[in-house]
Structure 1
Amino acid sequence: MLGLRMRPAWPSETRRWLAVAAKAKAVSRVRGTRDLLAEDSQQHREVVGVLQRTVERYGFRSIQTPLLEYTDLFSRSLGDGSDIVMKEMYTFKDNSGRSVTLRPEGTAGIMRALVSNNLLLSLPQKVSYSGSMFRYERPQRGRYREFQQFGVEFVGSSGSSVDTEVIAMAADALGALGIEDKVVLELNTLGDNESRARYRAALEVFFLKCKDELSSDSINRLERGSVLRILDSKSEGDQKIIVDAPQLSDFLSEEAKTRFDTVLSGLDALGISYRQNPRLVRGLDYYSNTVFEFLERPVANGEDSEKSVGGGIAVLAGGCYDGLAESLGGPATACVGWAAGVDRLNLLREMSSEAIVSVAVVPVLAGDDSNRVLHEAMRVTQTLRRRGLTVHFCHGRGNMKKQMKAAGRHGSTHAVILGGAEMEQQCVKVKNLDKREETEVPMTELGDFEFL
Structure 2
Amino acid sequence: MAKNIQAIRGMHDVLPEQSARWQFVEQHIRDVLSAYGYQEIRLPIVEKTELFKRSIGEVTDIVEKEMYTFDDRNGESLTLRPEGTAGCVRACLEHGLLHNQTHRLWYFGQMFRYERPQKGRYRQFVQLGVETYGMADADIDAELILLSHRLWQRLGISDTLELQLNSLGTTAERVVYRELLVEYFTANVEQLDEDSQRRLLSNPLRILDTKNPDMQVLVEAAPKLMDSLGADSLAHFQQLTETLTALDISYKLNTRLVRGLDYYSKTVFEWVTTELGAQGTVCAGGRYDGLIEQLGGKPNHAVGFAMGMERILALLENRQDLANIQTVDAYMILVGDAAQKAGVVLAEKLRDSVPGFRLQMHCGSGSFKSQFKKADKSGAQYALILAEDEVVNETIGVKFLRTDDEQRTVSIAQLIELLDS
User: Same-fold call, TM > 0.5?
Assistant: yes
2:254 is aligned to 277
> What does 1:203-352 align with in structure 2 at a 5 Å threshold?
203-224=181-202, 226-297=203-274, 313-349=280-316, 350=319, 352=321
* Residue-by-residue CA offset, 1:203-250 (whole Å, 9 max, x unaligned): 0111112223211111111132x1111111111223232121111121
8 Å CA contact retained: 1:44, 1:343: no
8 Å CA contact retained: 1:322, 1:334: yes
Displacement of 1:35: 0.7
1:304 is aligned to none
> What does 1:183-222 align with in structure 2 at a 5 Å threshold?
183-222=161-200
* Residue-by-residue CA offset, 1:68-106 (whole Å, 9 max, x unaligned): 001100000000001100111111111111111110111
> What does 1:1-400 align with in structure 2 at a 5 Å threshold?
23-224=1-202, 226-297=203-274, 313-349=280-316, 350=319, 352=321, 356=326, 357-366=328-337, 370=338, 373-386=339-352, 387=354, 388-400=356-368
- Taking the aligned partners of 2:216 and 2:174, their CA distance within structure 1 comes to 21
8 Å CA contact retained: 2:120, 2:279: no
- Taking the aligned partners of 2:349 and 2:221, their CA distance within structure 1 comes to 70
* Residue-by-residue CA offset, 1:107-161 (whole Å, 9 max, x unaligned): 0110010011111124111110000011112222222111111111111111121
Moved more, 235-244 or 257-266: 235-244
- Taking the aligned partners of 2:35 and 2:374, their CA distance within structure 1 comes to 41
- Taking the aligned partners of 2:237 and 2:290, their CA distance within structure 1 comes to 19
Instruction: Choose 1 or 2 for highest CA Rg.
Output: 1
Unaligned runs of 5+ in 1: 1-22, 300-309
Aligned in 2, Cα 1:209/1:334: closer, same or farther, shift over 3 Å?
same
Displacement of 1:351: 5.1
- Taking the aligned partners of 1:248 and 1:445, their CA distance within structure 2 comes to 70
8 Å CA contact retained: 1:149, 1:339: yes
* Residue-by-residue CA offset, 1:241-287 (whole Å, 9 max, x unaligned): 21211111211112111111121111011111111111111111110
- Taking the aligned partners of 2:167 and 2:275, their CA distance within structure 1 comes to 22
8 Å CA contact retained: 2:20, 2:325: no
Matched residue type, 1:239: Q
Please report the TM-score for the alignment, with normalisation by the length of structure 1: 0.87
- Taking the aligned partners of 1:348 and 1:155, their CA distance within structure 2 comes to 31
8 Å CA contact retained: 1:383, 1:447: no
Aligned in 2, Cα 1:383/1:181: closer, same or farther, shift over 3 Å?
farther
- Taking the aligned partners of 2:205 and 2:21, their CA distance within structure 1 comes to 37
1:14 is aligned to none
- Taking the aligned partners of 2:278 and 2:371, their CA distance within structure 1 comes to 52
Aligned in 2, Cα 1:298/1:247: closer, same or farther, shift over 3 Å?
farther
1:442 is aligned to 411
Number of residue-to-residue matches in the alignment:
414
- Taking the aligned partners of 1:128 and 1:193, their CA distance within structure 2 comes to 26
* Residue-by-residue CA offset, 1:311-365 (whole Å, 9 max, x unaligned): 8711111100001111111111110001111111111133546963531112211
8 Å CA contact retained: 2:121, 2:279: no
8 Å CA contact retained: 2:105, 2:132: yes
Aligned in 2, Cα 1:228/1:149: closer, same or farther, shift over 3 Å?
same
8 Å CA contact retained: 2:165, 2:253: yes
Matched residue type, 2:204: V
- Taking the aligned partners of 2:15 and 2:351, their CA distance within structure 1 comes to 23
- Taking the aligned partners of 2:30 and 2:241, their CA distance within structure 1 comes to 26
- Taking the aligned partners of 2:320 and 2:141, their CA distance within structure 1 comes to 31
Aligned in 2, Cα 1:214/1:97: closer, same or farther, shift over 3 Å?
same
Matched residue type, 1:403: Q
Matched residue type, 1:362: I
Moved more, 27-36 or 214-223: 214-223
Match of 1:416 among 384, 390, 399: 384
Unaligned runs of 5+ in 2: none
- Taking the aligned partners of 2:260 and 2:358, their CA distance within structure 1 comes to 43
Q: Does 1:402 align with 2:379?
A: no
- Taking the aligned partners of 1:107 and 1:312, their CA distance within structure 2 comes to 21
Identity of aligned residues (%): 39
